């Protein structure tokens, strides 16, 4: 029950803050251009408390799920008096600035929050920024079927040259069931490949069955097992088995099972020196799995951990926000072309789960980092050219600018009605998928 309450409260606070910042952008821009603002509300629904200053009613409303700004003459379907302080009476460029100010505030907030997070605590898997060298390929996976091998380096993916592992993982994630074109370097050859990611988990994220190249470091030794008896030490780096280069923990597991219990020769780096140890694995049940084991645990992926100076934190924040902005736009484009699943969109339940988990983690940086990502998503989503959204307002302003006249009011009415129905259907599908993820047992019982 406590976890549920934390999830709900954290979601309400985070989403409320994001929407409030968004609406403040519209409010501030409107005030700069002299547009009369009737209401600035924190929350929706019935007015609880507030005060009036000038023409604006500043209020707190019953439903604490963000806020809204009501400007004079904002709704093109309502009658206008033609007063100079009405929204529709202002030049198109001013209306454009007012419309874009909300999403811009969300994007700027995302950049600012991530900058602060990176100045306080910067943590990132080291391999994210490394060249995309394949460490291992799972049997019968899409990567294996495409003929990709360990040691191959991805030098191009869907037109992007020299991608890092983060670029590759994100591209694959949003491309379930859709072919991804690759160019790989194998020795001195550049070979063209095409791999088709398979949907994985309830979110339908793409997966191809490869593992990044990572150093294999011994983190812990089990007593009375072959490894410790043969002289393996903590912090040893394993670079080869029987002369074959090892680039992934899965590779070690594979070669040990292939050995059938016969001794294997480990090539180890210790203090800059190369050692060769012959060790016979033993057959036993380990972690619920029968197989051959040497008796050591390997460390997880190396992490970059520390604090960044303001210039470096700001630069890294810009890079992260740019990368994920492109990813969001790419994902939306793929969904429109039926190349990606709408299941990858998180609804209120998914957001509540994520914010609840972040809120329970030690410190405040995890929740702040997640808030930045939600703010970026809100800003980019509102820039989509869908009427009712800010991007739709901007699109209609651009069309009117080209036409040099206002769009017919009845045409606008039909456009807004269609967009409203579309957004309702979109929200219903997202929420339905959200419920199905949260209640897998229910999903299995559905016809």
Question: pLDDT per residue over 262-308, tens digit each?
Answer: 999 999 999 989 999 999 999 887 766 788 889 888 888 888 888 99
Instruction: Return the pLDDT at 66.
Output: 64
Tens digits of per-residue pLDDT, 386-440? 887 889 889 988 988 888 888 877 887 788 888 888 878 877 777 777 677 666 5
**Integer Cα distance of 142 and 208 in angstroms:** 5
Instruction: Give me the chain's average pLDDT, please.
Output: 86
Is it the case that residue 442 has pLDDT exceeding 50?
no
How far, in Å, CA of 65 to CA of 52, rounded?
A: 22
Q: Is the pLDDT of residue 60 over 80?
A: yes
3-state helix, strand, coil in the chain (%, to 5): 45, 25, 25
Q: Cα–Cα distance between 404 and 378 in angstroms, integer?
A: 31
Q: Which residue has the higher pLDDT, 444 or 249?
A: 249
At residue 202, the pLDDT reads: 62
Closest listed residue to residue 228, CA positions, set 158, 279, 273, 191? 279
How far from 391 is each of 12, 161, 268, 330, CA to CA, in Å?
A: 25, 31, 57, 16
366-391 per-position pLDDT tens digit: 888 889 998 998 899 889 888 878 89
Mean pLDDT of 194-218: 86
Domains annotated on the chain, with CATH: 2-120+348-445 (no CATH), 128-207 (2.30.42.10), 216-298 (2.30.42.10)
DSSP 160-177: EES-BHHHHHHHHHT-TT
pLDDT at residue 261 greater than cutoff 90: no
Query: Which residues is 199 bridged to in the sheet?
Result: 206
pLDDT tens-digit series, residues 132-167: 999 999 999 999 999 999 999 999 998 899 999 999
Whether 314 and 400 have beta carbons less than 8 Å apart is answered as no
For the cut 70, the answer to whether the pLDDT of residue 28 exceeds it is yes
How confident is residue 444, by pLDDT bands cut at 50, 70 and 90?
very low
Rg (CA), the chain: 28
Q: What is the pLDDT of residue 438?
A: 67
pLDDT of residue 443: 42
**3-7, 208-212, 275-279, 317-321: the lowest-pLDDT one:** 3-7
């Amino acid at each position: 029950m406590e976890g549920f309450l934390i999830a709900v409260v954290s979601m309400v606070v985070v989403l409320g803050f994001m929407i409030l910042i968004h609406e403040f952008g519209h409010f501030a821009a409107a005030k700069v251009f002299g547009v009369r603002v009737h209401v600035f509300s924190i929350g929706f629904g019935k007015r609880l408390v507030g005060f009036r200053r000038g023409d604006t009613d500043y209020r707190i409303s019953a439903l604490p799920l963000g806020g809204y700004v009501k400007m004079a003459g904002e709704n093109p379907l309502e009658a206008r008096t033609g007063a100079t302080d009405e929204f529709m009476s202002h030049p198109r460029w001013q209306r454009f600035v007012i419309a874009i100010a909300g999403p811009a505030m969300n994007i700027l907030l995302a950049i600012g929050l991530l900058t602060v997070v990176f100045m306080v605590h910067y943590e990132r898997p080291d391999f994210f920024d490394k060249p995309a060298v394949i460490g291992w390929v799972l049997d019968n996976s899409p990567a294996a079927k495409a003929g990709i091998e360990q040691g191959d380096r991805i030098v191009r993916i869907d037109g992007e040259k020299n991608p890092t592992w983060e670029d590759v993982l994100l591209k694959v994630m949003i491309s379930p069931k859709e072919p991804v074109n690759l160019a790989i370097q194998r020795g001195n050859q550049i070979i063209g490949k095409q791999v088709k990611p398979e949907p994985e988990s309830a979110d339908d994220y793409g997966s191809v069955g490869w593992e990044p190249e990572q150093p294999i470091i011994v983190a812990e030794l089990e007593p009375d097992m072959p490894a410790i008896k043969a002289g393996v030490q903590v912090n040893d780096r394993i670079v080869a088995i029987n002369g074959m280069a090892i680039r992934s923990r899965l590779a070690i597991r594979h070669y040990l099972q292939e050995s059938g219990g016969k001794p294997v020769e480990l090539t180890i780096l210790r203090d800059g020196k190369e050692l060769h140890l012959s060790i016979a694995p033993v057959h036993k049940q380990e972690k619920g799995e029968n197989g051959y084991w040497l008796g050591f645990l390997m460390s997880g992926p190396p992490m970059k951990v520390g604090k960044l100076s303001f210039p470096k934190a700001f630069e890294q924040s810009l890079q992260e926000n740019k990368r994920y902005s492109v990813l969001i736009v790419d994902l939306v484009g793929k969904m429109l072309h039926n190349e990606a699943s709408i299941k990858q969109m998180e609804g209120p339940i998914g957001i509540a789960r994520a914010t609840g988990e972040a809120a329970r983690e030690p410190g405040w940086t995890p929740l702040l980092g997640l808030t930045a990502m939600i703010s970026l998503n809100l800003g980019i989503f509102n820039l989509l050219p869908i009427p009712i959204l800010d991007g739709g307002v901007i699109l209609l302003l651009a069309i009117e600018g080209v036409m040099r006249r206002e769009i017919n009011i009845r045409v606008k009415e039909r456009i807004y009605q269609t967009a409203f129905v579309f957004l309702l259907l979109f929200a219903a599908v997202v929420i339905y998928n959200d419920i199905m993820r949260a209640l897998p047992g229910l999903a299995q019982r559905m016809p």
